[in-house]
Amino acid sequence: IQNVWSSFEKVISLYAEVPRVIERIAKISKQMIREFGSFTEPFIVPLIELLVKGYRRKPTSSFMYAAGIAAARYGEEAKYVPLFLNMLEEFCAVTFSFLNSPEAFTDNPLIVEDLFTMGDRCVKAMPEALVPSPVFASLFECACFGSLVEHQQASHALLLFVENSILLGVRNPKRDLLRPHIESAMAKGGQMLVNNIVAGMAGQLPTTVLISRTDGSLEMALDAVCQFIQSDEQLRAVLQTALKSQGCAHVNTALASWFVEGVLSSSHSASSRFSDYSRIIEQFSDRARLRLNRKV
């Protein structure tokens, strides 16, 4: 590793603006971290500094991919938490400077995918440190804003980050500590998020991101929201507002009402909650897409 390290620095310095070269560096970094374990530890701090420096020079998604692998491996160790928090802040500061419109999300799908994959790995590794920090609130708001990104892998990564972040306030052993911060993030971007999720289900996004049990999906992201919101009245209001948004203009009153009551009813079904919920999502999506095609 010592012999390779000096070459890393030179290659990143010389070829930071060549994505294919940086992609190879990211893959080598991943293999080093995963295969050599503790032997890579002395190089973690300089590696992260090098990746951030390279991303500042030329934003390339592979820098974040490699950084996310390192966070997943070492982020649980208290001594590295400040390093990875600062790393995430640095990557976000650069990314938010150009990821500032719906079109920018669609035009930069690899950046979106690796930003939220990195964010998801950081949330899993160090939730107690990350969730109360300002960078989490900013990243979650960014996810809400861009949740209609029209790219399958980018959408999966973003929605998985959203799902796992929200569920920290439901299932995590430290949920009482984390929930107030997630509530604050939801208060800022939650309605926009649900608007986009429901619009995506209704036809604004392809069916490839509708259902998934392993990757992020519209179905699982909305389910996380439903679990997080503890009041039926509040959940009903959030869903009704989403169905009145521009992305659901083709959804008629009868279908909207059926969807809201179906989602609420499935949340109270002890024995078949998720199967009932999935059926509601699929049927709503099919009916809404049919109406959208007719209108078009």
pTM assigned to the model? 0.93
- Of the chain, the end-to-end C-alpha distance in Å amounts to 58
Q: How many CA atoms lie within 13 A of 59 on its CB side?
A: 17
Per-residue model confidence (pLDDT) at position 116:
98
pLDDT band at 96 (very low <50, low <70, confident <90, very high): very high
CB atoms under 10 Å from CB of 23, counted, come to: 17
Per-residue model confidence (pLDDT) at position 268:
75
Residue 113 has pLDDT above 90, yes or no: yes
Tell me the C-alpha distance between 135 and 161, whole Å.
Answer: 14
Tell me the C-alpha distance between 124 and 72, whole Å.
Answer: 8
Share of the chain above pLDDT 70, in %: 98
Per-residue model confidence (pLDDT) at position 271:
63
Q: Which two tokens stand for residue 120?
A: 């998801």
Q: Mean pLDDT score of the chain, rounded to an integer?
A: 92
pLDDT digits (tens, 9 = 90+) for 198-251: 999 999 999 999 998 788 999 999 999 999 998 999 999 999 999 999 999 999
Long-range contacts of 142-145 (CB under 8 A, 24+ apart): 142/92, 142/96, 142/99, 143/116, 143/119, 143/189, 143/193, 144/188, 144/189, 144/190, 144/192, 144/193, 144/196, 145/102, 145/189, 145/192
Residues 6+ apart with CB under 8 A from 99: 105, 108, 111, 112, 115, 142, 146
Tell me the C-alpha distance between 203 and 53, whole Å.
Answer: 40
pLDDT digits (tens, 9 = 90+) for 45-57: 988 998 998 899 8
